[in-house]
Amino acid sequence: MDHFLYREGRLAAEEVPIERIAEALGTPFYCYAVATIERNFRVFSGAFGDTDPLICYAVKANSNIAVIATLARLGAGADVVSGGELKRALAAGVPASRIVFSGIGKTSDEMAAALKAGILQINVESESELDDLAAVAGELGRTAPVAIRVNPDVDARTHDKITTGKAENKFGIDWPRARAAFARAAEIPALKPVGLAVHIGSQVTESGPFRDAFARLAGMAAQLRADGLGVESLDLGGGLGIPYGDDPVLSPAEYAAAVASALGDLDCRLILEPGRVIVGNAGVLVTRVLSVKEGISRTFCVVDAAMNDLLRPTLYGARHAIVPVVEAAAGAVPKEMEVVGPVCETGDTFGVVPLPPALKPGDLLAIRTAGAYGAVQSSTYNARPLIPEVLVQGADFAVVRERITVDDMLAREPLPPWLGLRAVEVTGT
């Protein structure tokens, strides 16, 4: 369920017509619905009932500060994977005590920032990171709370670029070495091992891989306790998939059941890191038709959004539903068209979809389920500026990321003096 619905034949975000936003801002732009974000969070958290896990929103899915703040208001924590995301979470009002820092390549400065902020825990992904973190904590005179991220060697059966829990993946400490790594951390004065962590991938649509990974983690927790070591928490990561089409996915309730069956009565605080399942269907990418090109083998609908705005179809072969903002006339037979952008790449495509046969230049389209891994992966390829992000609540909308202009981009690229060019010759202003 989302809150992008047709009202009298016009697509609206909650109570705001998409056309109204397009008239005010131009296209393309991202639009997010607060009602969908809030609804998804409540459904996910409610699925766990009295278990009451700490839900740390995975900031990498959509790092807009307004989106994070919307979730922080509901009590969400944050899972961050960089110093920049840590700053965003704190700026959005997430308490440091509800922030988990994951990621395989933390720098010393990022570790120091996390410790100074007083975050809940740092998920350590290698034995060498234990040493690095201990050195940073020692210099600061602090004790670093750590969880050992385990690589369980479980195939999430998702896209190979977003699977993270197999032995050949770069993430986590290999299963056979994780128990010893936890014990070693307990011997280092500057570290306090508080738990275990796991994350097997993104867009996982079956319960089996989750159950296998969580059962392995629970078994290791029991072993460590038998060794006399305290395991206070289990961070189960995120990765719950969402529907982009008609493919079956797990519901939050089914996911919660998988957690319960794998962990049994193990007395640990649970940490969960949902991202896509919270914001995925809460956003659309709105774009305008530039032309309809009749090719020999197919019809192309050329739009003003491109792969630099939404990379998922190019990067993962992802499929997004694409719908007209003005509903098609009753009885109109859809025509298959490939929706493509203006970037000079054949990969600049959003897919082949059915669209109204009367589609023409100037018409608006909405690329659905674009709230996760859309704006955060955007770039300025082909010197295309970053596009706005808009947040809608009820009958109101606000720009939560302004459109970057080409002049803004040029202003950040000073010329070296030996080129002998003046800025005016480059910017034309």
What does 27-56 look like in DSSP terms, one character per residue? Answer: SSEEEEEHHHHHHHHHHHHHTTGGG--EEE
pLDDT on residue 200: 84
Please give the share of the chain, as a percent, with pLDDT higher than 90: 81
For residue range 80-95, list pLDDT tens digits in order.
Answer: 999 999 999 999 999 9
Residues 6+ away with beta carbon under 8 Å from 101: 80, 81, 86, 110, 114, 119, 121, 122, 123
Report the CATH number of the 4-31+280-411 domain: 2.40.37.10
pLDDT on residue 419: 92
For residue range 343-376, list pLDDT tens digits in order.
Answer: 999 999 999 999 999 999 999 999 999 999 999 9
- Assess contact for 272 and 236: CB atoms under 8 A: yes
Residue 429 pLDDT exceeds 50: no
pLDDT on residue 337: 97
pLDDT on residue 162: 64
Q: What is the mean pLDDT of the chain?
A: 93
| Three-state DSSP state, 121 | strand
pLDDT on residue 155: 61
**35-277: what fold?**
TIM Barrel (3.20.20)
Q: Mean pLDDT across the stretch 318-328?
A: 94
Which range among 17-21, 146-150, 156-160, 297-301 shows the weakest confidence by mean pLDDT? Answer: 156-160
Active site residue 31: no
DSSP run (H or E) holding 278: helix 276-279
For residue range 180-226, list pLDDT tens digits in order.
Answer: 999 999 999 999 999 999 988 888 888 888 888 998 999 999 999 99
Beta bridge partners of 69: none
pLDDT on residue 158: 65
Residue 159 pLDDT exceeds 80: no
pLDDT on residue 267: 86
Residue 109 pLDDT exceeds 70: yes
For residue range 25-44, list pLDDT tens digits in order.
Answer: 999 999 999 999 999 999 99
Q: Mean pLDDT across the stretch 148-152?
A: 88
Q: Mean pLDDT across the stretch 243-270?
A: 90
235 φ/ψ angles, rounded to the nearest 5 degrees: -95, 110
Boundaries of every domain in the chain: 4-31+280-411, 35-277
Cβ-count burial 177-206 (b if 16+ within 10 Å, e if not): ebbebbebbbebebbbbbbbbbbbbbbbbb
| CA-CA-CA-CA torsion sign (19, 20, 26, 32) | negative
For residue range 373-417, list pLDDT tens digits in order.
Answer: 999 999 999 999 999 999 999 999 999 999 999 999 999 999 999
Give the whole-angstrom CA distance, residue 133 versus residue 144: 7
pLDDT on residue 77: 98
Q: Which of 56, 268, 301, 344 is catalytic?
A: 344
Residue 428 pLDDT exceeds 60: no
Q: Mean pLDDT across the stretch 96-101?
A: 98
